[in-house]
Structure 1
Amino acid sequence: MRQKAALSWLMALFAAMVLAACGTESDNQPEDPAPGGEIIEGEVTSTIEETGNGTYRYTVKNDTQEAVTFNFTSGQRYDFTLTDEQGNEVFRMSSVSMYTQALGEEILRQGEELQYEIQVSEANLEPGTYTLEVWLTPTEGTTYPAKIEHTIE
């Protein structure tokens, strides 16, 4: 009988300890990333800028509080097209390129950016103004397109 009472007492003590631990908070809380203790949530953005001589820089920047992972089915990370003033596609990079057939991923951590240099070939294009559109090619999710005018004289 004494063993039953001791066992019951021990089980009650264990249950009380488990219940007491359920409501406690950890002291290892991360520090607030922004002054004033306020978390400012941004977004993932994309831009394209001309760097000279038919070369452009396509940038995807992570201004969120979490890492963003892009999964790819090949070595291709982005694609781009040129469309003429009538909206007709006159060039697509992936139609003239080959890529390794290997799974891959890019992890874009908070505050980091991916940058790709793009060289636009003017071969076989008439002088005029074209729209250059660039986007990521992940297996799923947002592709973060960006557009800029490209002029051939």
Structure 2
Amino acid sequence: MKQKAVTSWFILIVALLMLASCGTESDNLPEDPDTGGEIIEGEVTSTIEEMDNGTYRYTVKNDTQELVTFNFTSGQRYDFTLTDEQGVEVFRMSSVSMYTQALGEENLSPGEELQYDIQVPAANLEPGTYTLEVWMTSTEGTNYPAEIEHIIE
């Protein structure tokens, strides 16, 4: 009789554990209608666009679901270069600029973006097509480069 009671308790415990383990997967996740219900993690992206003649807007956007933090060792947040058609760097902003020497950070929440307006100086360059490349100067991780043609007439 005692063995029958122990076996009954054992079967009851196993049955309860099996029932408890059913349905533990969350059904409350938001769905993305374009992917058939799967959630796709985005990424941090960078773009550059021409605003006016010689003025550009560099944008870094957080399309992830997490806070992104950029750490800096100075007041400089981005740098840019102009490269000629032969691939030779003819101008670098940081080579002619000074920045405060102070630690800093920029926090980018999900869906937010950082925007920097860039004025490309004349820099006594010959007429032609140049490549303008811009990137973040954070101390760690990806620097999120972006490039566009810059034409000097």
Q: TM-score, normalised by structure 1?
A: 0.76
Q: Deviations over 1:106-150 (max 9, x none)?
A: 011100000000000113110000000000000111000001000
Q: 1:146 corresponds to which residue?
A: 146
Residue identity (%): 82
Q: TM-score, normalised by structure 2?
A: 0.76
One-letter identity of the residue aligned with 2:84: D
Gap change, CA 1:87 and 1:111, over 3 Å in 2: same
**Aligned residue pairs, count:** 125
Give the CA deviation at 1:53: 1.6
Q: 1:78 corresponds to which residue?
A: 78
One-letter identity of the residue aligned with 2:142: T
Give the CA deviation at 1:33: 4.8
One-letter identity of the residue aligned with 2:132: L
Give the CA deviation at 1:70: 0.5
Unaligned 5+ residue runs, structure 1? 1-22, 24-28
Q: 1:5 corresponds to which residue?
A: none
Find the aligned partners of 2:48 and 2:65 in 1 and give their Cα distance. Answer: 23
Unaligned 5+ residue runs, structure 2? 1-19, 21-25
Equivalent position SS for 1:94: helix
Give the CA deviation at 1:69: 0.6
Gap change, CA 1:35 and 1:87, over 3 Å in 2: closer
Map 1:88-99 to 2 at 5 A. 88-99=88-99
Q: 1:20 corresponds to which residue?
A: none
One-letter identity of the residue aligned with 1:133: E
Q: Does 1:50 align with 2:55?
A: no
8 Å contact kept, 1:34–1:40: no
